[in-house]
Amino acid sequence: MSNIVSVLFDGVVYSSWLFLMAAGLTLIYGVMKILNIAHGSLYALGAYVAATIAGAWLAAGHAAIGSYAMLAVAALLVGAVMGPLLERGLLRWMYGKDEVVLLLVTYAAFLVLEDAIKLVWGVESMLLPEPYALPGNFQIGTLAYPVYNLILIAVAVAVGLVLAAALYRTRQGKLLLAVIHDREMSAAMGINVDRVYLVTFTVGSMLAGLGGALTAPTIAVSPGIGVEVIVLSFAVVVVGGLGSLGGAALGALMVGIVRSAAVRYWPEAELFTIYFVMALVLIARPRGLFSAPEARKI
Amino acid sequence: MSRDRTLTALAAASAALLLLAAIAPQWLVFLLALALAKGLVVLGLVLLMRTGLVSFGQGLYFGLGAYAAALLGHRGGIADAALMIAAGTACAAAVAAILGLLLARYRDIFFAMLSLAFSMILYGVLVKSSALGSTDGFNLHAKGVAGVALAAGVERRVFFALSVIAMCGAAWLLHRYLSSHWGRLSEAIRDNELRVEYLGASVYRVVYVNYVAACALAGLGGAFAALAVGHVDPETAYWTTSGEFVFIAILGGTGNVLAPFLAAAIFEGLRTVASQYAPNVWQMTLGFAMLAIIMFLPGGLWTLVSGRRKAA
């Protein structure tokens, strides 16, 4: 019994983390039709910036509780700086090219950012254990869990709800949905598509940064952390259906729980199971679980 | 006209490389052997790209070819390079023949991502299987070719000569293929596959055949890479390796069967220089180069060669 509970709980924690990454990725794809490989670098940047400024905050002797605010600031910073930089500086020159070419462009951006991170922060790993250790542990049955995991789940749920509300309940969100549906027609109706793109990409980058910032306290922040994240969040997004927020949530839950079950019962197959789930879903539903059929253009 | 020129260039390049196999210093033989092995993989990728498909998972077949070749010597006790190469290619082709049934239904990003997922499955299996050395991989040592034992020291040169022959054969076959009926159909599929269907051709079959051919080439390249390096590890199947192949394909362009080999040689040469002088900005250089090519030279470096030829 406690086995199943712990598998589910670990799975949900992992899913929350996956969802934060996947939500940004799927949002950007849905609006801009760009599968952003550089998302992993933005995640890594979030982790580095968080480790740096929260570390500086704690080193300056301020209250430890403020380090959580620093994590959020790191995410905002990454989004606000890198989002416009990438979108205005690079991607807008590429609009109109094939989706696959755009994929390659973001791959190139990923390669550049990976080295840029190494140049700025060096190759030594950074640690930021305080925010993780601070809230202590709680018990489920006989097992102790860090409270930090609950924070992670809460943030993911909040992000999901806020995004859904912003998309479906606000005027700006409806404009965004219109752009997703038909970019050219929306532009003709007077929607400023350029601005929608910029805002979308910035918000997506912020989410990646948030994922990284929240992960920073739980890992050793070191070069290469962005690499595995990309492929994982791709798997999630593709399972859910590219461009679907609900799909990203469901995909994250599926992948997260399957992984935690694999880690528990069959650790050799951990990586294998994730991609196996992805391949299975794609075989059954070629465009993911939640995706509208698309008309073929002749 | 240009077809003749390509074949002449191929013959000349092969002769020059064979000469190099005999006289070049060891480091150059090693570098070129690796470049040719990767060039073979990219040659397959170019075939896919001409069909309109970009695979982010050729590492799957590269890794399969390398491991199949290495295992034959390591476990099977058969340390014959010719058999190893055949095993690597056959293994990759067999897996591609199964996965291709599924993958040939997908296009664009879904094709790219699904092939990536399959390569990551292999990576995951390799990393966790301690019998195969987990992340460290294991060494292999081929002792002969087609029954002829080789003296220590010359084996790398012989393997390189073999890969030159493989390059020559593969490039020639693909060149013929691309100007054949099915080769032309491939390009038509890239342009508009629905119309190809209307014309009565089976898009699925062309894509399937091209996929299997491309993956067999990747397996061949993997086997040669394993022989050249003398070591295999799971990194061969990792997605960044697949990304490297895509990069080389973009660098060379898809215009000619020689472009992948030229690009692979440039790539390996640059990497050797970069790892010596600027190891920290290597990926950044790659990224900027890739952006520059996508922006200013969408046909790849080969357009420089062919453009000058036209002007002359």
How does pLDDT run across B15-71, given as a tens digit for each residue?
888 888 778 788 888 888 889 899 999 999 999 988 888 888 899 999 999 998 888
Structure confidence at residue B76 as a pLDDT band (50, 70, 90) = low
Quick one: average pLDDT of A63-71?
A: 78
Q: Do A268 and B129 touch (CB under 8 A)?
A: yes
A297: nearest CA in chain B? B194
Structure confidence at residue B1 as a pLDDT band (50, 70, 90) = very low
- Residue A224: what pLDDT? 79
pLDDT digits over B126-177, tens only? 888 777 777 777 777 777 776 677 666 777 888 888 888 888 888 889 888 8
Q: Which residues on chain B are in Cβ contact (under 8 Å) with A118?
A: 280
Q: Do B294 and A105 touch (CB under 8 A)?
A: yes
With an 8 Å Cβ cutoff, is B70 touching chain A? no
Q: Do A103 and B54 touch (CB under 8 A)?
A: yes
In chain B, the number of structural domains is 1
Q: Tell me the nearest-neighbour CA distance from B159 into chain A, angstroms.
A: 32
- One-letter amino acid identity for B245? F
* H or E element, residue A211: helix A193-215
Tell me the sheet residues that pair with A137.
Answer: A146
pLDDT digits over A232-264, tens only? 888 888 888 877 888 888 889 888 888 888 888
CB B13 within 8 A of CB B153: no
pLDDT digits over A7-57, tens only? 888 888 888 988 988 888 888 888 888 888 889 999 999 888 888 888 888
With an 8 Å Cβ cutoff, is A278 touching chain B? yes
Q: Do B284 and A94 touch (CB under 8 A)?
A: no
A38: nearest CA in chain B? B287
- In this predicted structure, the answer to whether residue B280 has a pLDDT above a threshold of 60 is yes
Q: What is the value of ipTM here, to two decimals?
A: 0.81
DSSP strands (E only) in B193-276: 231-232
Structure confidence at residue B221 as a pLDDT band (50, 70, 90) = very high
pLDDT digits over B165-212, tens only? 888 888 889 888 888 888 888 888 888 888 888 888 888 898 999 999
CB atoms within 10 A of CB B261: 27
How many whole angstroms separate alpha carbon A285 and alpha carbon A291?
Answer: 9
With an 8 Å Cβ cutoff, is B283 touching chain A? yes
What's the sign of the alpha-carbon dihedral B169, B175, B181, B185?
Answer: positive
With an 8 Å Cβ cutoff, is B98 touching chain A? no
Q: Give, to the nearest 10 degrees, the angle between helix B181-198 and helix B203-229.
A: 140
With an 8 Å Cβ cutoff, is B135 touching chain A? no
Q: Which residues on chain A are in Cβ contact (under 8 Å) with B128?
A: 267-272
Q: How far is CA B35 from CA A272, B123, B225, in A?
A: 30, 22, 9
Q: Tell me the nearest-neighbour CA distance from B247 into chain A, angstroms.
A: 8
Interface A:B, Cβ pairs < 8 A: 118
* Mutate: best of A86, A123, A275, partner B, most B CBs <10 A: A275
What is the phi-psi region of residue B140: left when phi exceeds 0, alpha when psi lies from -120 to 50, beta otherwise?
A: beta
- Residue B114: what pLDDT? 83
| Cβ neighbours of residue B67 closer than 8 Å, sequence gap 6 or more | B126, B132, B222, B226, B232, B236
Quick one: average pLDDT of A113-134?
A: 80
Phi, psi angle pair for A15, to nearest 5°: -60, -40
Q: Tell me the nearest-neighbour CA distance from B75 into chain A, angstroms.
A: 22
Quick one: average pLDDT of B206-227?
A: 92
Closest CA to B212 of B182, B184, B237, B190: B182
Q: Tell me the nearest-neighbour CA distance from A271 into chain B, angstroms.
A: 5
- In this predicted structure, the answer to whether residue A294 has a pLDDT above a threshold of 80 is no
For B46, the domain range is 2-311
- In this predicted structure, the answer to whether residue B120 has a pLDDT above a threshold of 90 is no
Each as own residue / partner, the long-range contacts of residues B199-206 (CB below 8 Å, 24 or more positions apart, any chain) are B204/B104, B204/B105, B206/B51, B206/B182
Structure confidence at residue B312 as a pLDDT band (50, 70, 90) = very low
Q: Do A283 and B102 touch (CB under 8 A)?
A: yes
- In this predicted structure, the answer to whether residue A134 has a pLDDT above a threshold of 70 is yes
- Residue A121: what pLDDT? 84
- Residue A202: what pLDDT? 92
- In this predicted structure, the answer to whether residue B73 has a pLDDT above a threshold of 50 is yes
B242 CB-contact burial (10 Å; exposed 0-12 / middle 13-18 / buried 19+): buried
Q: Which residues on chain A are in Cβ contact (under 8 Å) with B54?
A: 100, 103-104
Residue among B110, B123, B240 minimizing CB distance to A286: B110
Interface of A with B in 71-130 (CB under 8 A): 90, 93-94, 97-101, 103-105, 107-116, 118-119
CB B96 within 8 A of CB B61: yes
Most confident of A63-67, A77-81, B216-220: B216-220
Answer with the residue of higher pLDDT: B312 or A287: A287
- Residue B210: what pLDDT? 92
CB atoms within 10 A of CB B278: 12
Residue among B118, B239, B290 minimizing CB distance to A104: B290
- Residue B45: what pLDDT? 92
What CATH number did the domain enclosing B220 receive? 1.10.3470
With an 8 Å Cβ cutoff, is B296 touching chain A? no
Residue A108 token pair: 């190139």
- One-letter amino acid identity for A288? G
Q: Tell me the nearest-neighbour CA distance from A177 into chain B, angstroms.
A: 22
With an 8 Å Cβ cutoff, is A138 touching chain B? no
Side-chain-side CA neighbours of B29 within 13 Å: the count stands at 22
Q: Do A227 and B128 touch (CB under 8 A)?
A: no
With an 8 Å Cβ cutoff, is A294 touching chain B? no
Strands B148-149, B144-145: pairing is antiparallel
Residue B229 token pair: 């390096």
- Residue A8: what pLDDT? 85
What percentage of chain A exceeds 90 in pLDDT? 6
- Residue B215: what pLDDT? 94
| Cβ neighbours of residue A14 closer than 8 Å, sequence gap 6 or more | A256, A259, A260
How many whole angstroms separate alpha carbon B2 and alpha carbon B88?
Answer: 33
Q: Do B110 and A287 touch (CB under 8 A)?
A: yes
- In this predicted structure, the answer to whether residue A82 has a pLDDT above a threshold of 60 is yes
Q: Tell me the nearest-neighbour CA distance from A115 into chain B, angstroms.
A: 6
How many whole angstroms separate alpha carbon B95 and alpha carbon B21?
Answer: 32
Q: By 3-state DSSP, what share of chain A in percent is helix, strand and coil, each rounded to 5?
A: 75, 5, 20
How many whole angstroms separate alpha carbon A291 and alpha carbon A161?
Answer: 20
